[in-house]
Structures are given as structure tokens and as C-alpha cells.
Amino acid sequence: MKLLAIESSCDETSAAVMVDGVLKSNIISTQLIHTEWGGVVPELASRAHQKSIIPVVTEALQKANINKNELNAIAFTRGPGLLGALLIGTSFAKSLALSLNIPLIEVNHMQAHVLAHFIEDPKPTFPFLCLTVSGGHTQLVWVKSALDMEVIGETQDDAVGEAFDKTAKLIGLPYPGGPLIDKLAKEGNPNRFPFSLGEMPGLNFSFSGIKTAILYFLQKEVKNNPNFIEENKADICASVQKSLIDMLLRKTKKAMKEMNCTQIAIAGGVSANSGLRARLQEMGTELGWEVFIPAFSYCTDNAGMIAMAGHFKAEAGEFCGQEVSPLARYSL
Ligand code: KG4
Ligand code: ZN
């Protein structure tokens, strides 16, 4: 099975080739245009996808040493994501599949983030718990099988990636701020500014309160000292990052106990965070969990994970027709 996969849900244009479940190429073009706007501008994302999709697909095929006529199916991200951005990938996948007379496989982006764990060893065994943390989602997913997943807890407002990015914006860092906070946090004191907040009942999360708390805290401090942010940047980053990780891990621990589970995986852009990776490893050692952390290239948006999900769907005979349309909202 020679599979081409396409990802275009947000600000990464990506294409991958997978042969019989083995990833042969995974090309990612990150749209830099959004940096100057402090966040992803949907219309600019669509235009950038339009520009990049053919070169990215061409490069993915070349790197895998595959001719397009050899392809057996095309997998693409159907949603969730920005509708205009999804439309580019979907239309491209549909046209190419039509011209090659091969079937399509529609993929749920959030399911694919979880399935990124099956690209390389070590792989978890079913069932396991996955904490999926990205710019748009924060979910605790009970993974019963590759194609059967249940969200057992999720954010009721902002995603944790948004909390990272919005904090970064408040302290003058460009978009996307998550990786920059991670970097600065390494030199800061995580206990300097505690942001303790109440939490949602059960396994759900809320990140809008902490965002406001950080805003008010900074406004107050800057009134007393206009250079406060500049002088304390590393400590602010370390403290915010610690608070966000605490919130994620408290619920993860609770979910692991409730599900009587010993395997925990993390997925999504925020799983690239070095603090989260280290703290989860520590927690795993302490509580006897097996911890699965994907390679950095499979954390943030990439078509390799779409190919992996496409592979599982192809194995299950789950193909779709030309009538399929993208979905901005698409639950697991
Ligand atoms: O999964 P992803 O690439 O796109 C979405 O589906 O949203 O995730 C992007 C998010 C952004 O909010 C970005 O700031 C965050 O992941 N992120 C990080 C790190 N790397 C990416 N957040 C914290 N620490 C990082 N190292
Ligand atoms: Zn994503």
C-alpha cells in the first residue's frame, strides 16, 4: 500500500508518503507569515497552503522515491481546523485522487495526533491514555484501538497551547510563543510567581482563568516597575509553564487512576515542551507508568501522522468518496 498523506488544517502545509505502514517521507512547510500578526490569520493560511501544496507534495514523493502513478490511496486531514485551510488540502487530495483514479481516506486530525505514536518504536499497546495538547485542543483520550477513541476529559474554554501563546504575546514574544516560553523557562525559577487557581470538576480543564490571572498580575507589576517584564522574563516563563504543566498533570494522574491504566502517551504541539516531557517522565517513574513521548517532528502538525491514521483506516477498509467535504469541527 503506497499512501500519500496531506495535512493543511492550520499553519503547516505537509505531505508524507507511507509504504505498508513505514513512513518514507514527511515534508513540513511552516508558514512564517503569521509571526508578524501575533497569531494565525485564516485567510493568509489558505493562501500560503495554495502556494506550498504542490512543491511540498512533489518533495514528499521525490524523497520517498515514488512516482505519483504508483500511489494506491490519498489520505487527507478532513478536520478539525480552519475551514479555508482544510479546503486547500481536501480539494488537492480529491483532484489528485480523481485524476489517478485511486480512493481517498479522510482523517480526523486529533485521531492522527494520537496515532503518531505508531510511526516509530516504542509503541503503546491498546488500551492506553493519551494527553493530546495543541494550539486548538486539550484532551484526555482513552484509546481503545487505532480507530476507537473516547474523549474522557477536555478543556471547556482555551487550549493549553493558546495559554502558552497568549502569555508569550503578553510578554512581547512573537507567535508561536510556546517554544520560546519553553526555551526561556529553562533559565528561570518556576516557583517565583505561583499562579494557583481552582479547577474544573472531573477530568475537564479550563485555561481561560490562568490567562486572565497572568494578564492582571503583569499589569499590576508593570505599574510599579515599567521594566518588570524585561527584568523577570525567564522567571515569568518558568512560573507560567510550571502552572500549566501542573494543571495538565493533575488531571492526567486522576484519569490514569480512574481508568486503572499504566501506559500514558502525550501528543500534539505542546507535547514538544521540554518541561512537560521531563515532568511526565518523572511522574511515570514514581507511579510505575510506561511513558510514550513522540519524536519532536511528530508532535507538531505533520502529514506523517495523517499517513499513519490513513494506514489504519485503509487496513480497516475505511475509504471515502469524492463527495466528502472538510469539517471545521470534527469530534473523535
Ligand atoms: O499541534 P500543533 O502543531 O497545531 C495545532 O493543532 O494546534 O500545536 C501548536 C501549538 C502552539 O500553541 C505552540 O505554541 C505549541 O503547540 N508548542 C509548544 C511547544 N512547541 C509547540 N508549547 C510549549 N512548548 C513547546 N516546546
Ligand atoms: Zn495539531
Closest Cα to atom 20 of ligand 1 = 179
The SS3 assignment for 8 reads coil
Query: What average pLDDT score do residues 123-139 get?
Result: 96
What the block records as the C-alpha cell of 267 is 501528543
- The lowest-confidence range among 31-40, 94-103, 156-165 is 31-40
Amino acid, single-letter form, for residue 109? H
CA distances from 34 to 29, 38, 43, 71, 308 (A): 13, 6, 11, 33, 28
Cβ 18 vs Cβ 311: under 8 Å = yes
DSSP β-ladder status, 138-145 and 128-133: antiparallel
pLDDT at 34 over 90: no
pTM for the whole structure: 0.95
**Spatial separation of the C-alpha atoms in residues 173 and 155, rounded to whole Å:** 24
Please, what sign has the CA dihedral across residues 271, 275, 276, 282? Answer: positive
Q: pLDDT band at residue 114, thresholds of 50, 70 and 90? A: very high
Note the pLDDT of residue 183.
98
Neighbours of ion ligand 2 (CB under 5 A): 134, 301
**% of the chain beyond a pLDDT of 70:** 100
Structure confidence at residue 295 (pLDDT): 95
pLDDT at residue 37, as a whole number: 82
| pLDDT at site 195 | 85
pLDDT for position 198:
75
**Is 289 a residue whose pLDDT tops 80?**
yes
Residue 43 has pLDDT above 80, yes or no: yes
* Residue 171 φ then ψ, to 5°: -100, 15
Counting ligands in written order, which one lies closest to the CA of residue 159?
1
- Report cis status (omega within 30 of 0) of the bond before 326: no
Overall average pLDDT of the 114-130 stretch: 98
Distance from Cα 315 to the centre of ligand 2, integer Å: 23
Cα 117 to Cα 305: distance, rounded to the nearest angstrom: 8
> For residue 196, is pLDDT > 80?
no
14, 56 in Cβ contact below 8 A? yes
> Which residues share a beta bridge with 155?
205
C-alpha of residue 83 to centroid of ligand 1, in Å = 19
Q: Concatenated DSSP letters for 77-140?
A: EEESS-HHHHHHHHHHHHHHHHHHT--EEEEEHHHHHHHGGGSSSS---SSEEEEEE-SS-EEE
Q: What is the dihedral of CA 219, 220, 224, 228, to 10 degrees?
A: -50
Q: Which of 271, 300, 329 to mutate to test the pocket of ligand 1 (most atoms within 8 A of CB)?
A: 300
pLDDT digits 0-9 by tens, 217-259: 999 999 999 999 999 999 999 999 999 999 999 999 999 999 9
- Residues touching ligand 1 (Cβ under 6 Å) are 10, 134-136, 161, 164-165, 176-179, 182, 268-270, 272-273, 300-301
Please say whether the beta carbons of 168 and 181 come within 8 A: yes
Average the pLDDT over 80-107 and give the result: 98
Q: Please check the confidence at residue 38 and state whether its pLDDT lies above 90.
A: no
Q: Give the SS3 label for residue 262.
A: coil
Higher pLDDT, 60 or 197: 60
Cα 238 to Cα 259: distance, rounded to the nearest angstrom: 31
Short-list 105, 113, 59, CA closest to 300: 113
Residue 66 has pLDDT above 90, yes or no: yes
Give residue 35's pLDDT band: very low, low, confident or very high (50, 70, 90).
confident
Average pLDDT of every residue of the chain: 96
Q: Which of 36-45, 153-162, 199-208 has the lowest mean pLDDT?
A: 36-45
User: Quick one: which ligand is closest to 177's CA?
Assistant: 1
Separation between Cα atoms, residue 66 and residue 20, nearest integer Å: 13
